[in-house]
Amino acid sequence: MGDSFDAERLQSAYLKARAQLFEERIPSGWWEGELSTSALSTATAIVALELMQRPDANKPHQSLITKGLRWLAEHQNEDGGWGDTIKSLSNISTTMLARAAFEATGTVEEYQTVANHADRYIDQVGGVEAVIRRYGKDKTFSVPILTQCAIAGQVDWRQIPALPFELARLPHRFYTTIQLPVVSYALPALITIGQVRHHFAKPRNPITRFIRDISRESTLKKLLAKQPESGGFLEATPLTSFVTMSLAAMGLHEHPVAQNGIQFIIDSVREDGSWPIDTNLATWVTTLSVNALEGEVPEESREAILEFLLNQQYRTVHPYTNAEPGGWAWTNLSGGVPDADDTPGTILSLLYLMTQQPGYREIEIREAVDLGVNWLLDLQNRDGGWPTFCRGWGALQFDRSSPDLTAHTIRALDRYQQEYVDRWREVADVKRLAKVKKAIESGFDFLRRVQRQEGSWVPLWFGNQFADDEENPLYGTARVLAAWFDLNRGDTPEAGRALNWTLNSQNESGGWSGQPGLPESVEETALAVETLLTGGKNDPQLHRGLDWLCTAVETDRFTDPSPIGFYFAKLWYFERLYPLIFTVSALHRACRRFEISTSNQ
């Protein structure tokens, strides 16, 4: 096949994909994307609307409820269950939530066939016990799911584990010590779902009952203080719906949190009657796009993108997680929370944009990335890795170190370090740079320890629904190898094993999936191709992957998204821009590698 790929074909595919990506910019100049509609979100929104309208004889939310139920009925899978997206396999959690929506709204008779089909699926899969098994010790999702079912009368309240909502009274600094049974971002669920379970099934222990009784008012005040301006906790319909329905079930329909929450739900509905899993990933998809292009964005949008990203940095202590200033969230909306994926992604984007126009707003950019790097350094766990939101909770997945987040952070820290060597030497903070160097080495130590024997790494935020364990080592390995190669460590044994694993994971078609032999996707194939290019490969396997990717562009398959798992692959979504962005990133890298012009001329 030769030493290079068909230059004309590669150039044509790249220019087509890049043009499509540019067309996806919103009028403001950056990218907003579009998250998949969700049966899980729709089911929870319906129940929240139903509970909130019960005291009102006018039934103000009935039209939304009716449309949402119709959407659920029309999108039931053949096996009787529902998946989180219209492309997802059925799962017990979303199916029980959807079934509860018909029960809570009193429409089972109207949708009898749908309900019967769902009941058979739930019985076959295992019902309540299956939900509890799915999430293990983490009660962040299992308890809210069962709570909605209890509100609908399908589960006994005493089947639901009690959440110690009284612990939310304690100062944030004590959360590490008390080991809450929910992840760091889920305090609103802990408070409201803990309270509604207490309301309907008080503990038999009189001391526990008394403590929880006197903790209700103070924890509700804390809840109100944490609610964002939009009313949506994390900009997420499910979490906001669980909070709202719990308050309404206790008769607190007029509570400000419930009123703000229901308005967020009303504002978030889609035209077809469904709800997305989250409002948008505007900051995330914008940084992904900028980084895919290595900062080569259209000149007319460069200033708008730069201004947008600078404005999204948190400059005060975050009211929700108590995170220190300096981080970035996935969205530009008030419900976002700074995290260790969007923060390094934004740092990389700002530095890429700066190199396109040297000297322009350089001091602003330097100050922003200084603050962002400090935030990341403070977030690093003792094991050397980086968690998602909060350092040190450690008991549950989002608070544990993750390979994909750690690698992303290492890349940002290294690029930051390079800028101080090449550009900002005169104003360098020697102590901070020493901390950065130490943090990078600790991060690599963590990555070495968690690499699997065959060479792969498993990410936290992305999964593959076809895998038995729903993991996606292809995504994790690609993201970790990017750090190894960016820091010129590609000749290490760890990188060698990981690169061989990636090569051996290619399907006969030339594409890749999360694991060998599964149906390939545009996203995963693009990631694998980019990894091989970055790793210096130029062999038949790379060429087969490029052929697969170019064919996907030529046939317009490159805009077809696949469900992606987050919450350690127990919740699913897809983002319309992911396959497009990942394709552009891989083809951009290929054009650079084979010295192919990326000009339209």
Per-residue model confidence as pLDDT tens digits over 230-273 = 999 999 999 999 999 999 999 999 999 999 999 999 999 999 99
- pLDDT over threshold 70, residue 131: yes
Report d(CA 223, CA 171) in Å as an integer.
Answer: 13
Give the pTM: 0.94
Q: Which domains does the chain have, with CATH numbers?
A: 1-27+452-601 (1.50.10.20), 31-35+280-450 (1.50.10.20), 38-276 (1.50.10.20)
Least confident of 178-187, 426-435, 572-581: 178-187
Question: Nearest CA to 460 among 161, 146, 275, 183?
Answer: 183
- pLDDT over threshold 60, residue 181: no
Residue 325: which pLDDT band, with cuts at 50, 70 and 90? very high
Per-residue model confidence as pLDDT tens digits over 9-29 = 999 999 999 999 999 999 999
In the block, residue with structure tokens 């202590």: 317
Per-residue model confidence as pLDDT tens digits over 395-419 = 556 678 999 999 999 999 999 999 9
Residue 527: which pLDDT band, with cuts at 50, 70 and 90? very high
Per-residue model confidence as pLDDT tens digits over 25-64 = 999 999 999 999 999 999 999 999 999 999 999 999 999 9
Handedness of CA 571, 577, 579, 583 (dihedral sign): negative
- pLDDT over threshold 70, residue 3: no
pLDDT for the residue numbered 510: 96
pLDDT for the residue numbered 2: 45
Q: Which residues pair with 300 in a beta bridge?
A: none
* DSSP string over 540-571: HHHHHHHHHHHHHHHTTGGG----EEETTTTE
pLDDT for the residue numbered 176: 56
Cα distance between the two ends of the chain: 28
pLDDT for the residue numbered 493: 96
Question: Nearest CA to 544 among 564, 560, 520, 563?
Answer: 520
Mean pLDDT of 136-149: 87
DSSP three-state, residue 502: helix
